[in-house]
């Protein structure tokens, strides 16, 4: 299979370790991965703000960069959903895009991981991944339980996974929402952090680094000891930075 790795611009600029962990994780699973060097932002910020037409250049470049691949894999639920619905939808014979966790569970059907992470961990379920990509069962739906990111974390040795009181509540980031509705966004983020704190977590993880970036900013401002790490870093057996 021909797999192209799409790394969102904010991950490349601010969280390169999450990108490296994603690549290494796929390679450990036996996948040969290409990284098109001309890739840029997918245009999601413009679409979120109601100006999708200004992201058409980014969409055209995305299609050009990843034509000829069977799959595009991305360590971000929100960017994956944007590309799936607004860039690659309706294309005949084009690549299929998957968020990293769903690619590992649905396509590669990973059954075990060679990783250890001896820390108490809380999993944040981001809205785009949860309700857009169906990475897990939302609490409002009366369907059988499933959680693809959690199923992968449960394969990690020595990890201590907690049960949150409100496991799929929004963190308040929402892309440009955090800019236009700063006060609401901050309060929502503090609520999510409090839930993790009450469970005594050492690390908050998730499949969307943008949500984790929002929570990390709040944690740093209040000088809290909790760390944030992208799920790929934990699945790859990396340790938290001091």
Segment 202-217 shows an average pLDDT of: 96
Query: What pTM, to 2 d.p., does this model score?
Result: 0.94
Instruction: Compute the distance between CA of residue 97 and CA of residue 34 in angstroms, rounded to an integer.
Output: 14
Q: Is the pLDDT of residue 242 over 70?
A: no
Residue 126 confidence class, pLDDT cut points 50, 70, 90: very high
Q: Is the pLDDT of residue 179 over 70?
A: yes
Chain segment 48-73, per-residue pLDDT in tens: 788 888 889 999 999 999 999 999 99
Q: Is the pLDDT of residue 156 over 90?
A: yes
């Amino acid at each position: 299979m021909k797999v192209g790795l799409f790394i969102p611009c904010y991950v490349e600029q601010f969280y390169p370790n999450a990108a490296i962990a994603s690549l290494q994780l796929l390679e450990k699973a036996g996948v040969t991965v290409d990284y098109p060097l001309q890739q840029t932002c997918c245009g999601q910020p413009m679409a979120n703000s109601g100006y999708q037409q200004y992201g058409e250049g980014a969409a055209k470049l995305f299609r050009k960069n990843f034509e000829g691949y069977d799959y595009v894999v991305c360590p971000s639920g929100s960017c994956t959903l944007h590309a799936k619905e607004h860039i690659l939808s309706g294309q005949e014979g084009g690549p299929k895009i998957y968020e990293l966790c769903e690619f590992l569970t649905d396509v590669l059907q990973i059954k075990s991981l060679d990783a250890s992470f001896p820390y108490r961990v809380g999993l944040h379920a981001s809205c785009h991944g949860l309700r857009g990509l169906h990475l897990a069962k939302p609490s409002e739906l009366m369907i059988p339980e499933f959680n693809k990111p959690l199923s992968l974390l449960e394969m990690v040795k020595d990890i201590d996974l907690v049960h949150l009181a409100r496991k799929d509540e929004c963190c308040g980031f929402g892309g440009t929402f955090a800019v236009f509705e700063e006060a609401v966004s901050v309060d929502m983020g503090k609520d999510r952090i409090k839930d993790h704190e009450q469970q005594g977590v050492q690390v908050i993880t998730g499949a969307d680094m943008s949500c984790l970036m929002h929570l990390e900013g709040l944690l740093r401002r209040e000088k809290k000891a909790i760390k944030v790490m992208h799920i790929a870093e934990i699945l790859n057996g990396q340790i938290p930075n001091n």
